[in-house]
Structure 1
Amino acid sequence: MPDASRPSSTPTVAPSTPASSAGIAHICDLLDRVAKKDRQAFACLYDATSAKLYGTVLRILQDRGSADDVLQEAYVKIWQQAAVFDTTRASPITWMVAIARHLAIDELRRQPRGVRESEDILEHAPDEGLSAQEVLHQEQNARRLHQCLNTLEENRQDMIRLAYLEGWSRADLATHFDQPVNTVKTWLHRALKQLKGCLAS
C-alpha cells in the first residue's frame, strides 16, 4: 500500500472514478476512513481516483514530471485534510479535483514566465502562410492579453483561466473558491469588464 506522504507510481491518464451513487458513496466512505488515518483506505482511494486527478493536473501543466510531483502533493493534502471534507458542499471527487487543480495552478505560477510564454507560442504557432506582420500582430495581442490578466487580483486571474481556459462550471468555481455561485458570477463579470477596459486602453 502507498505511504500517506508518497502515493504509488504515476497512474495512466484514464477515467477511473465511479460515477454512480454507489461509487460516490464508496469514495465518501474511503475519505471518512482516511480522516481516521486508515492507510489501507488511503491506498484504495488512490487507486480509485488517481487517474482522474492526474489527468486534470497534466492538462494544466502539460509536463509529466511536474504533474507527477503535483499529484503526490495533492494526495498528501488529501490525507491531511480528509477530516474537513463536507458531503453537503461538494461531491468527493469534485473536492479532490479542486485540491489538485489549485496545486497545479500554483505550480504553473511558480514556473518562469518566459518558459511558459515560449511554450504557448510553440503550441499556438501560426500557419506558415501568415506574413511577418500578421505573426507580429498575433504575438502583440497575446502579450497584451497576458499583461492585462496580470492587472487582476490573483484569485480573479485564476478564476478567468479556470472558467475560460479549463472550462470549469460556475458550481466548480464556487466550490474551489469557497464562495456562493452568484458571487462567482459577479466576480467573473467584473473581471471581464476590467479586462476589456485594459485591452481597449
Structure 2
Amino acid sequence: MVNDVELASQVAKGDERAFIALYDRYSSRVYTLLLHMLHDSMAAEEVLQETFLRLWSRAEQFDPGRGAFVVWLLTIARRTALERLRFESHRPVLADSDEPSTLLENIPEPETTSEEARWRSLHLAVQSLPEEQRQVIELAYYQGMSQSEIAEMLDLPLGTVKTRIRAGMFRLREQWLEGENVQIQKPL
C-alpha cells in the first residue's frame, strides 16, 4: 500500500489515481467530521467535495515534516466547514420576495434551536482548547479513532494521548458547566 506522503506528492503532480486513492481512503472520515460539525448531511457532502477540491489544488502545500497527512486533510475540512458556518450565519433570513405567511413556516421548533445552540456551544468550546488537546479530542470523538490509533498516527506515547484527552475533556466540562455556575471538583 502506498503511503499518504507519496500519494500527496503524486496528487501535487496531477495524478488522478493518487487523488482517487486518497479520496477512497479518507472520504468517510472527513464526512464524519463534517457531519458532526454541520449537522446536515447535504451540507456535509458539499463541504466534503470542496475539501477534496482544495486537496487537489493545494496538495503541494502538504509538508510531511509538520504532521500526518490525515491531520492536514482534516484541518482543511474543518476550516472549510467553519467558512460555511460563518457564511450561513451572515446570510439574510428574509428576502424581499418572502411572504409573511411563509415566515411562520420557517420558524424552527424550540427544541431544534436549543439543540443547535448546544452543538454550537460545544463546538466553540472544543475550538478554544489548546491545539494538542483539541487535536486528540477531535480525532477520538469526531473521527472515532481509538487512543492507540491516535498515538500511532501522531507518533506520541499512548500515555500522552490519554493525558491530553483527559485534560481536554475536563476543560470542556468546566467550560460547559461554567455558564450554569456548577462547581466541579478536580480529579486527583
Structure 1 length-normalised TM? 0.52
SS in structure 1 of the partner of residue 76 of structure 2 = helix
Residue number in structure 2 paired with 1:189: 166
Q: Which residue of 1 aligns with 2:150?
A: 173
Contact 1:148–1:195 (8 Å) recurs in 2 = yes
Alignment of 1:13-24 (within 5 A): 24=1
Q: Percent identity?
A: 20
In 2, Cα distance between the equivalents of 1:197 and 1:30? 38
**What does the per-residue CA deviation read over 1:146-186, in whole Å, with 9 as the maximum and x for residues that have no partner?**
45435423553343233123212224434665644332221
Q: How many angstroms apart in 1 are the aligned matches of 2:69 and 2:53?
A: 13
- Spell out the pairing of 1:8-157 with structure 2 (5 A cutoff): 24=1, 27-28=2-3, 31=6, 34=9, 42-61=15-34, 62-81=43-62, 84=64, 95-112=68-85, 115=88, 142=119, 145-146=122-123, 148-157=125-134
- TM superposition shift of 1:188: 0.8
Q: 1:192, CA displacement in angstroms? A: 1.0
CA 1:28/1:99 → structure 2, altered by over 3 Å: closer, same or farther?
same
Paired letter, 1:196: R
For the 8 Å contact 2:30–2:74, the answer to whether it is kept is yes
RMSD over aligned Cα atoms: 4.2
User: Residue 194 of structure 1: CA displacement?
Assistant: 1.5
Contact conserved, 1:170 with 1:181, CA < 8 A, in 2? yes
Which residue of structure 1 lines up, in the alignment, with residue 107 of structure 2?
Answer: none
| 1:112-143 CA-partner distances (Å, limit 9, x unpaired) | 35948xxxxxxxxxxxxxxx7x7787567556
Offset at 1:81? Answer: 4.1
Measured in 2, the distance between the counterparts of 1:186 and 1:192 equals 10
Evaluate the alpha carbon distance shift between residue 187 and residue 68 of structure 1 in structure 2; reply closer, same or farther with a 3 A threshold. same
* Matched length: 149
For the structure 1 residues 160 and 43, does the alpha-carbon distance in structure 2 shift closer, same or farther, using more than 3 Å as the test?
A: same
Give structure 2 stretches of 5+ with no counterpart. Answer: 35-42, 90-109, 183-188
1:25-63 deviation digits (Å, cap 9, x = unpaired) = xx249928946x765xx3332233323333333333343
Distance 1:184 1:72, change over 3 A: same
- SS of residue in 1 equivalent to 2:129: coil
- Identify unmatched segments of 5+ residues in structure 1: 1-23, 90-94, 117-131
Query: Contact 2:125–2:172 (CA<8 Å) still a contact in 1?
Result: yes
Q: In the alignment, which residue of structure 1 is the partner of 2:186?
A: none
Sort the Cα spacing of 1:181 and 1:114 in 2 relative to 1 into closer, same or farther, 3 A: farther
